Structures are given as C-alpha cells and as structure tokens.
Structure 1
C-alpha cells in the first residue's frame, strides 16, 4: 500500500456514528461509572479522543511507537528537555531555530543544563563536543534557515556508541519526505504549526518516540506540565494530514523552480536549497529525503540588513510574516525575526548573514512567485544604484581644487 493511501486510511471512521471525519470532542471532563471506572477518558488534559486519534496517526506515519501532541512546537521541545537533569549537557546544531536557542539559553541553562553548538554536518565536530555529561544530541535537518542537512543515520550511530539520545526536529521535511526514527533517531519533534497543519491557522507541536518507555516519559510530562493540544486544534491537524502528500509535492516543485532561478540571479550571492547540486549536503539529502522541501533561503550580494528589509517589504505574493509551511507563500528576515534572540556573532558564524532571506514557498503558480521576487529584487537594485550614485556625487564634490584655481568658480 502506498504512503498516501496508508495515511488517508489510518484516519478512522467514527465507530459510534459512522462519521467520515474524526469528531471534535470539545469537552473538559468525562462522566465516570465509578471512581477510576470510565470509558478510557477522565479529563481532557490527560487524554482526549480527538487528540488521541491524532497521536495514533502521527506515530504511525513517523514509524514510531508513541506520539504526544502539544500546544506549540516549543512546548514539544520543552517536554524533550525535561528528560534531562541538572548537570546534563546537550550537543546541538549551530544553525538552530531561535526559539529553541532561547529556551536552551534563557530557561534551561539556569537549571544547570548546558548546550554546546556545533556544525552537525561535521561528524568529527559532534564527536569532539561529546563529554561524559552529554545526554542528548539535538539536530534540525534541514536546519532553519540555512537548510543544512545532517546525516541522521551516521549521527544515530554516534549517539548509540555513547549511549545518548538523538532528537531530530523534522519540521522542515515533514514525515512525507523523511522519517528520522527509521534512520536510528530516538525522538522526532515537529512544529506542527508548519507543514502538518499546512494552512497557517493552528499552533501545535508533536513529539514521537521510537521507544515505548521513552514515549511514556514524554506522555507523563505532557500531562504533568499541561501544555496539551486542544481537541479543535487536534482536529485541524488531522484535516491537514489528509492533504499533506499533495501539498508537499507542490511545495517542493515550486521551491525547486525558484531555487534554480535565484541561483542565476546577478543580485543573489548564495542560495540555500538541498535540491541544488551546488548545496554542500545535496548527496546526504538525496540519500535520506524523498524530496527537498518547500523552503528556500538566499543572501544578497549587497549584504546588509537594509537591503534585505527593502526586499521583504516589497513583495506582494510573499507575505512578510513569521512561520512557514502554509499554502500561501511567506517571506521573513531571520536576522531580525526568527533568529533575533541569537547573539549577532553567533548568528553570523552559523551562516545567518545580515542579508539572508527565507522564503516559505506556497502553492501559488511558480511563475507568479518568480515575477514577485524579480520585482522586489529590482527595487533593491534601483535603491543600490541610487545610493552608489549619491556616494559618487559626494566623492566628486569633495575633491580638492587644483592648485592653480582660485575659490571663485568663474576662474576655474
């Protein structure tokens, strides 16, 4: 059975009513026959029928045993970090989502959990960073926003050798393109706000584990800490999953066309897209992903925040907004938006330059999107030309007068 068919038919018909869509059980509590005697549910923070169906579906499509749905992607990450104790260390990808970095550095660092950031495409760097206190390797693949692709299977082998956990943020690829648990990862995390939801109308997070015992620990923190996903939002994610394969295919198709266009543009310095043969991790991406995703990042030859701001405020179809993965195209400037919480030098060292622009390529016609990008780049270029002329005039006006000239214009 093909993956699309399997996904669609993993969404059950309601046994009680025959409803083709999973019902929304919008209830906070459940009537019990006697204390502790119930129909499998007692309180919606602990469990809810709609959320339970979502978790079963997601565990199945990621190739895991247990899934837990949270109120946001950061709540999902938070639950994973709660597996650790004071004094433990994490080795994390350097090109990390700004929200995860803020959580690590501003919240958990004061509780004695420290993080070493390395380029996880370099296996030697991972090995060198691991100490006797390391308990977790944290990677995003592809990363946000420079789309580095780490070799999950090779890193899983390292984690196994040191008896530590490997968690993979699979948000950018989605379960359609990549299943990290099948490559040896222990934990998969999603900001389900993005491709799984797919319509920019829900905030949600997911954690899926390969090991059942690890899954039970995550479920304990889900209930104990309470950052659960509500029934209506769970319903929205199930609805999003029904079209995930179709949407991802179009996202990938459009993104590849745009990446190829940008790579040839004279105003563009670098293009970050794993589907390009020029991408340094193209071979790894080709090995572990079914396609290359719907996000394209690029930097400008005029490497300034002003140039990037000029671009992102002059697109019409690419809306300037946080987030990604929706049906409508979005544009963002990571240095001043998603990665603002990271110190400037660390951000630049990880490849997030001042002019880096991230495109979440939607489902519009590809040529329309290219025309929109071209118009915005033209405005950046015209401003650059005007600035260049202005500087040239200033320079000309500041030249010293020849020695034989008097100060009177008529004599020179």
Structure 2
C-alpha cells in the first residue's frame, strides 16, 4: 500500500529503522518533564510509546478511517486477546451487562464466561445477532456494551452494523466489533457508527504467520483513554520488531486480500456445487442468506469460510480431514498458506455443552483459510479428499 505519510529516513534507508530499545534519554530536566506532559505521543519508555509501534498504529488507523470525521487512532497490543480484553474492560465495571453473539471467537467467550462473569459479576446475553429485534429484546437497564463479530466465527453470519450502532446510541450503550475477517480494507465499522474496532494482526494484517499482535481502532479520545489505563497498566505491549514486520505486511495488504478473495470465491463455488457438501458459509456467494447485507456494508470478502460435510460419520470426517495435502492443519488463519480446522474440536472443549449447542456446530463443520497458492491445486486437493465421503 502507498505510504503517503512516510517520513524519509535521514540516511535514506528505504525501510524505516526499528527502535528496538526499552527507554529513551533526554538532554535535561526540562526536556523529560515536557515529554511527561504528553507521554501518549512522546517516547519515554517503550511500554508506553515507541516510534516503530506508533508508525504501525498510524498506518492501520489510516486504512480504517473511511469517511469518519475527526481523528482516528490505533493502539497495538501484544495479541488479539490483549486488545479484546482491554477494550471490554474499558467499557465495563462490576455488575454491568453485555449483549453479544453465540458465535464469537472462542477465547472471547471464555474471557466473558471465565473472567468477567465470576470476577466482576458481569451479566451476558448471547444471541444469534441476525435480527435487530434480538438486540432490542436483549438490552437491560445495566447493558453497557454490545460486542460484535461480523462476519461471525465458524458460521460467518452478519450483523447490521449501522442499525445496531443507532440502537446502541439511543440507549447510551457502547459498541465494539471484532473486524478481523473483513480487514479494515473491506469493512469500516467506525464509519457505520461503531465505537471501537478490533483486529487480530496475527491474521490478514500480518499476513505471513510470523506475528502475534492485536489492535484497537477508534476516536482519538477513546484510544487515548485506553492507552493511559488498560494499555499501560495491563502491560500488553507489542515489541518493535513485530511492529516493523506489521509495517512490512501493510504494504501488500490490498494485493494479498485481492488474491485471497479471488481464490476463496472459486473454492466456495466449487464446494457449493459438490454433492458431498451440505452447506457452504461464505458471504461472497450469491447463495449466502445475507449476501445483500454483505454487499451493503462490505466492499470485499476475505479467504476464510466454513462448510459442512454431508455426513455425520466421524471416520469419514477424519479421513477427509487427514487426507488433505495442501491445506495444512492449524488453528489460525490469514497467512499466505491454506489451512483447515474443525471448529468443534476447540469449541467443544472450551465451551459449556449449552453454549456449544447454541453455536450450531458439529464435527462435520470444517473451516478453511484459502491462501495464495495456485487455485487449481487447491481445488484438486479438496476434490481428492472429498472422495472419502460416501
């Protein structure tokens, strides 16, 4: 991507130097005292502000801005879960209530059920999120946060972000979204009225399976408030070297996402027409139940999808899973390589039986991340593996 705001290095280095240091020194009492007057924007100690990290944050915010009026800022964290936890904790206090979805990222559910509920007495309402009426009915007097993930994990259902943001504002409720699937290129929640946007930078923003990081994006006042409290006090910083790798990756984000989308649509169409596939969940398909809403609030699709095998025979399911050659087995996604995972493996172990049942998953539901390899090779790999389904 074009670095229109890139500051030229005084030595002419084509790649920005990495400030791999823990602290920054000053010439005088007055100089360090002045830095403390605006420690959010002045490098003093790298747990707070680091020039390499700040540059990566600015570039991500620039991508996410869209037509939002006012300053948009980003704050990088050491992982996606660190960003999610910091964002939720910023909006919540003891005895508050959250409205969220049945199908959000598994560790996000665990953070709510295993941390917020027992330690802060936070109440939670899990809904499908498909209809705005569900949100209206779930709101309580103590509701302080609506937490979204669109498209959602595992089944890729979509929420109407504009309507939800309008509803939340009428009730004085904050909104937060995990926007990792669509990336800030293809979906701009802040422009639709959402207060806080989160991305796992380990996925498409990093794009090379060599970074673990997360980012929060929002208004300057909101991000600055999170910076001085949850970010600094919980200490979940990102290292400068990882921020530098992230800057590298952002340069090719639009190119990589175009290829991910192109490959994924062809894979989804192949699967959608295959007799051994019961259902394909991919917002880019015209057969997707919410295809119109997907086109309305997103400008593109990524490479992550799920499908259900037309069998409940666990032996056949495992044979299909294990016989793939190009689709490697792994829990993450968003890199250049193609991956497969059965979401039920993790969710079944992490969630209560009731919560797992609400997610609508079985061991025959497969999640694939379509990478940047040759599309004919990927389809051939899937076709060969599907011969294991009778």
TM-score category of the 2 structures, normalised to the smaller one: over 0.9
Secondary structure of the 2:387 match is: helix
Q: Contact between 1:197 and 1:236, CA under 8 Å: does it hold in 2?
A: yes
Q: Report the Cα distance in structure 2 between the residues aligned to 1:304 and 1:208, rounded to whole angstroms.
A: 44
Q: Report the Cα distance in structure 1 between the residues aligned to 2:249 and 2:348, rounded to whole angstroms.
A: 27
Q: Which runs of 4+ in 1 moved over 6 A?
A: none
1:80-99 aligned at under 5 Å gives the runs 80-83=87-90, 84-99=92-107
Q: Contact between 1:190 and 1:206, CA under 8 Å: does it hold in 2?
A: yes
Q: Report the Cα distance in structure 1 between the residues aligned to 2:317 and 2:168, rounded to whole angstroms.
A: 39
Equivalent of 1:353, from 350, 362, 366?
A: 362
Between structure 1 and structure 2, the one with the greater Rg is 1
Report the number of matched residues.
Answer: 374
Secondary structure of the 2:350 match is: coil
- Offset at residue 37 of structure 1 (A): 2.2
Q: Contact between 1:334 and 1:340, CA under 8 Å: does it hold in 2?
A: no
Equivalent of 1:107, from 115, 120, 143?
A: 115
Q: Who is 2:74 aligned against? A: 67
Q: Report the Cα distance in structure 2 between the residues aligned to 1:314 and 1:142, rounded to whole angstroms.
A: 29
Q: Who is 1:402 aligned against? A: none
Q: Contact between 2:347 and 2:356, CA under 8 Å: does it hold in 1?
A: no
TM-score using structure 2 length:
0.92
Q: Report the Cα distance in structure 2 between the residues aligned to 1:108 and 1:318, rounded to whole angstroms.
A: 36
Q: Who is 1:395 aligned against? A: none
Is 1:215 matched with 2:210?
no
Q: Report the Cα distance in structure 2 between the residues aligned to 1:372 and 1:36, rounded to whole angstroms.
A: 65
Evaluate the alpha carbon distance shift between residue 138 and residue 36 of structure 1 in structure 2; reply closer, same or farther with a 3 A threshold.
farther
- Offset at residue 353 of structure 1 (A): 2.3
Q: Contact between 1:347 and 1:353, CA under 8 Å: does it hold in 2?
A: no
Q: Who is 2:275 aligned against? A: 266
- Offset at residue 60 of structure 1 (A): 1.5
Secondary structure of the 1:208 match is: strand
Q: Who is 1:366 aligned against? A: 375
Q: Who is 1:79 aligned against? A: 86
TM-score using structure 1 length:
0.87
Q: Contact between 1:70 and 1:76, CA under 8 Å: does it hold in 2?
A: yes
Q: Who is 1:52 aligned against? A: 54
Is 1:20 matched with 2:22?
no
Q: Report the Cα distance in structure 2 between the residues aligned to 1:9 and 1:352, rounded to whole angstroms.
A: 45
Which segment is superposed worse, 333-342 or 79-88? 333-342
Q: Who is 2:68 aligned against? A: none
Equivalent of 1:9, from 4, 8, 14?
A: 4
Q: Who is 1:127 aligned against? A: 136
Q: Contact between 2:99 and 2:138, CA under 8 Å: does it hold in 1?
A: yes
Q: Report the Cα distance in structure 1 between the residues aligned to 2:334 and 2:348, rounded to whole angstroms.
A: 18
Secondary structure of the 1:235 match is: helix
Is 1:280 matched with 2:275?
no
